[in-house]
Amino acid sequence: MRTTSRKKPNPKKTNERPKTIPVTHTFIVKRSDELLNFLLARFEGKLSRNSVKKLLSDRKVLINGSMTTQFNYPLAKDDEVKIAKNPVRTAPVRKNAPQAAVPSIKPYIIYEDDEFLAINKPAGLLSVESDKDPNCAYAMAAAYLKQKDARSRPYILHRIDKETSGVLIFAKDIRIHSMLRMHWNEDITLREYYAVIQGEMEEPSGQIVSFLKENANHLVYVSKDPRGKKAVTNYEVEKSNDRYSLLKINIETGRKNQIRVQLNAQNHPILGDDKYGLVPSPINRLCLHASALEFIHPVTKKPMRFYAPVPNEFRQLVK
């Protein structure tokens, strides 16, 4: 599998920040379907077929943040469908006024074939849009694929935190996506990360096992309650100095904020983690990078490995 080493990502800034779109409903797709059939099922007994069609013709339906009027738009598992309160339209552009544009994803592509698009996501960019921030890697991937083929679209396989950089993969084929998502955790053979932490671990390598729960403010914490979600993190100290340590990490479970929470509970927070560790970073970013992801191809049964080089800044911190 080919890989490409690139400079530290620095996504282009747009001149206008997209405004948050008020919505009335949000749905998460559980299995592959066509958009109209999905909406009819969601609004059964509440809206007539014509009323559901009108939502589309009135430009009120968004898929992963992008508006569509296409009745047979192919939905995949984990897609997010939103119903906007008002029609979503492109604002008229004044003469000589700056236009907002989706940044190009091309500088971050590390692999592409007929079935997959893999990027080295820069830190500070969401995987998928949120209510507060519509800028995301998904929108960049969608715009890129649409330029090549108006009928194509990316399908979400997984996510990484906004503050984390590294490997992010989209499927380009809905059949492959569905097969992978059915057994995603079983098919993944490697989830590798690198992190720069405060201080030195007590052991040069080890395994952290804990139960994670989430509070009302959506913050994850370590609990002794076995009813929490079990999280397993393996680490190896690659290099350290009197202030910081660079860890190579392999997680066996993919829990929300797992690495950040568990390392903070060990009194070795990740540098730049302003959500859990509250430790400043000399390089002004969260020092966590998704360096490699490997899974078994659902058809060929061959391992697919994607790699994004560890940022040079991480190694400089532990010189």
Q: Cα–Cα distance between 228 and 234 in angstroms, integer?
A: 19
In angstroms, the first-to-last Cα distance of the chain is: 31
**Using CA atoms, how far apart are residues 14 and 24, in angstroms rounded to an integer?**
28
Q: CA-CA distances (angstroms) from residue 70 to 24, 26, 110, 256?
A: 20, 18, 31, 33
**Calpha distance 58→137 (Å, rounded):** 27
Residue 113 known to be catalytic: no
Q: Please choose, from the candidates 268, 266, 270, the residue with its C-alpha nearest in 3D space to the C-alpha of residue 287.
A: 270
Is 296 strand, coil or helix?
A: strand
Which residue is associated with the tokens 């399908």? 155
Residues for the chain: how many in total? 319
Separate counts of helices (H) and strands (E) for the chain: 7, 17
Give every CB contact of residue 179 below 8 A, 6+ residues apart in sequence.
298, 299
Is residue 185 classed as helix, strand or coil in its secondary structure?
helix
Catalytic residue among 161, 187, 225, 274: 161
DSSP assignment, residue 107? G
Cα–Cα dist 280/275, whole Å: 11
Active site residues: 161
